[in-house]
Chain A
Amino acid sequence: MNEKSTSPEKSPEYFLRAEGITKVYSDGTVALKKVDLEIHPQEILGLLGENGAGKTTLTKILSGLLPPTEGRVVSPRGPVRFSSPREALEFGIGMVHQQFALVGPFTAAENVALSHERPFALLNLEETKKKLEKLMEESGLRVPLDIPVEKLAVGEQQRVEILKVLSRNVDLLILDEPTAVLTPLEVDELFSFLHRLREEGKSIILITHKLKEVSSITDRIVVLRHGELVGDLPTSQATPAQLARLMVGEKIEEEESAVELSVESLPRRREEKKATPKREGEGILHVEGLTVQGDTKEIAVNDLSFDVYSGEIFGIAGVEGNGQTELVEAITGLRPVISGRATISGVEITGKDPREIYRLGVAHIPEDRWRLGLVLPFTLAENAILGVLRWKEFSGPLSFLRWGKINQHVRKLIERFDIQATGPSAPAKSLSGGNQQKLIVGRELAKDPKIIVASQPTRGLDIGAAKYIRDLLVEMRNNGRAILLVSADLDEVLALADRMAIMYEGRFMTVAAPDELDRETIGMLMGGMAKEGV
């Protein structure tokens, strides 16, 4: 469903034009499909889409840092193809990423000076500071210039990044999810700054998933879904409901060119839910008023309360970065809790370390299996006993390992979960992603847990492996276990969950059964708009 319209007020000249951009990565994933887009001067463009929709890829191609597989990017200024961000800056395109590229102990002035050329010149910080002062006055972005950047608040650090880019006189400024780490006051300041920039004739692309923001600041909104441009309309004509629909798509029956996307998405086919009536089992996980701090000292989980019962899959959907990771880490003992509590079957787990929590019956399928789930150089067998090796059946007196028993156990796992490997002594890194995940799942299930916390369990897996894992989760549910499923893949949550929540900025926007929610509402909630407000 494409809605294109051009506002008559805009001048016909463009700054950049993307024509028929298609991008296929070397592993076969199609990131973008035939995207046409024009960037005009003096406009703020909102780029909207879910995880994996292709926003980052598109902006990389627009800024000339990534070559498209098909199509081209043209500009009246010259060819748009650069080998480093510095060259792009010289052309006039600057990007501010979610991860800042700042040197911690340097001051703001020094960080800005770094990005200017001519290494054999004398350092003239006074001049740089003067330029920055002027820039700060013009843009309204104020930042202390003489304090090491690592001591600044995140919002201030972002301003340094922006100033860095601005100091090179860019004409196109791209911001990737800039408000994720800002307080509301900082957001307002940022937006008034963007308005000022626009008045000067610059173009701005704002990548976001937040509907309220995109509606308030932009002139035009472009929506991507599964690599396709599904909407390009002036903000004045767009309603949040419409945007939500565009962002997450209509009901699944639609035959779309089954665009096989990057890791988070499914091909569009209906998942058969194992038709088992909802059972109100006993409460397993109880979370009450949980507040957790993220890595950059912001509040990631904000006074959250919910319960997960046995015999159900409780799904948490939402765009990544809204506190899901921190929530899972808090529940599994990898992150401290600021306030609130969590219990498993009544036993307090707040603040306990992972091993104790596992002993209480919690299994965890981590979202980053290479960092958290596996010791890659270890063998299959060695990985299979991670966390459980002190059990009586695996280790004896003087903590001697019973390799015989262990290998037996591992062979059973290999058979039960159909893990393709040469045997228990195969190194874990020789397994495919799907088999690695199966190993982890098998290991966790062998703990006979009361509740399974599955975080992005099918990320990076091929269709077959993904289906296998999903079926397994459903089977576990049918066997009476409780499952907390956290996934950025909305379709996955919709297909599997008995009850689901949509997480946004550390809170649940709603908790309901998937049937009770229509796509439009879901899209709005994911974008931060409450059901009633429009």
Chain B
Amino acid sequence: MTYFWGILFISLHAMVPITLTAVGEVVGETGGLFNIGLEGILLLSAFTGALGAESAGPTVGLLVGMGTGALVGLLFSVINTYWKGTQMITGIGINLFAMGFVAFGLIVLGAPGFHAVPAESRLAAIHTPVGTLSPIIFVALVIPFLVHWFLNRTRAGLILKAVGENPEAADVAGINVNLTRLLATTFGGVLAGLAGAYISVSWIGSVTKGISAGRGFIALATVVFSGLNPLLALLGGFIFGFFESLATWIQNLAGSKAIPWQFVAMIPYVVTLLVVAGVIGRVRFPKALGEPYKRE
């Protein structure tokens, strides 16, 4: 029985960065921009969030992480709206930069490759009789609902969907396509930034050059799985988190030859492939996703 609570709590913790990042990207992709640089944002904000926490406390750390995400998201959107860049390449550039910057930064801070965030700089956990929870988990549970409400119940949400689906029609209706996309993707960056800072300040409590561990890409996969529905992104995040915790659990269980942990770890990616291939449900994406918008 202790296994149940253990796995549940780890899954909830693991769910957070994926759900937050995915929900942010849902907003961004609804507007039409495809940000492959989420991994880079996670990495960068984990690092900057840790620094922020150490200098001024955990809350500041989280805010610094969100700010980092906002900056990168802003840079990405400006390049790909007003400057008509190529989204794929910008994203790859962000990832490369982040890899180098964080690795470099870690060495400069003194410990090559690894940096633990001291306990007093970490976010206070909530203690329950069966385990600890991070407060951010609740944030991650609530935000998808808020975003869902925003997308479906406000005019701004409608405008965002129009921009992603048919920017020409939105333009004709007097909507500022570039500005809308910019705001959406920057918001996505903020959530990804929170996710990254959460990893270093609240959950794992350290920064390594691989701390993001591909979660940015898992988030992209979750976005596909969700079909741009924030609630499904929450579910997807939990499922991926569950398999991640399962994989860790199996790996730590010496003598478990039932299923090698590597195959368990593969499951999220295989599932995404199946979803994307149309086997599981039919997913419909905004028609203008990934295309730069040029007014004729």
Contacts and interface: CB of A to CB of B under 8 A. Distances in A.
Interface in B152-167: 152-159, 161-162, 165-166
Nearest to B173: A115
Interface string A100-115: 0111111000100111
Contacts of B165: 103-106
Contacts of A1: none
A84 B155 contact: no
A123 B173 CA distance: 17
B240 to A, nearest CB: 27
Given A101-B168, A101-B169, A104-B165, A123 B158 contact: yes
A119 interface: yes
A106 B162 CA distance: 8
B172 A103 contact: no
B284 interface: yes
Given A84-B174, A114-B162, A119-B159, A102 B169 contact: yes
A140 to B, nearest CB: 25
B282 interface: no
Interface in A64-92: 84-87
A123 B154 CA distance: 4
Contacts of A110: 158
Contact of A114 (B153, B154, B158, B168): B158
B170 interface: yes
Interface string B178-219: 000000000000000000000000000000000000000000
Interface residues of A, number: 22
B155 A86 contact: no
Contacts of B175: 114
A399 B284 CA distance: 41
Given A101-B168, A103-B161, A106-B165, A119 B155 contact: yes
Contacts of A121: 154-155
Given A101-B169, A104-B166, A122 B155 contact: yes
Contacts of B166: 101-104
Nearest to B163: A103
Contacts of A116: 155
B184 to A, nearest CB: 13
Nearest to B180: A119
Interface string A109-142: 0100111111111110000000000000000000
Nearest to A116: B155
B294 interface: no
A122 B173 contact: no
A159 B147 CA distance: 33
B159 A114 contact: yes
A122 B162 contact: no
Interface centre among B154, B157, B169, B287 (most CB of A within 10 A): B169
Interface in B229-250: none
A399 B153 CA distance: 59
Contacts of A114: 158-159, 162, 169-170, 173, 175
Interface of B: 152-159, 161-162, 165-166, 168-170, 172-175, 284, 287
29 contacts: A86-B173, A86-B174, A101-B168, A102-B166, A103-B166, A104-B166, A104-B287, A105-B161, A105-B165, A106-B158, A106-B162, A106-B165, A114-B158, A114-B159, A114-B169, A114-B170, A114-B173, A114-B175, A115-B173, A117-B174, A119-B155, A119-B156, A119-B159, A120-B156, A121-B155, A122-B154, A122-B155, A123-B152, A123-B157
Interface of A: 84-87, 101-106, 110, 113-123
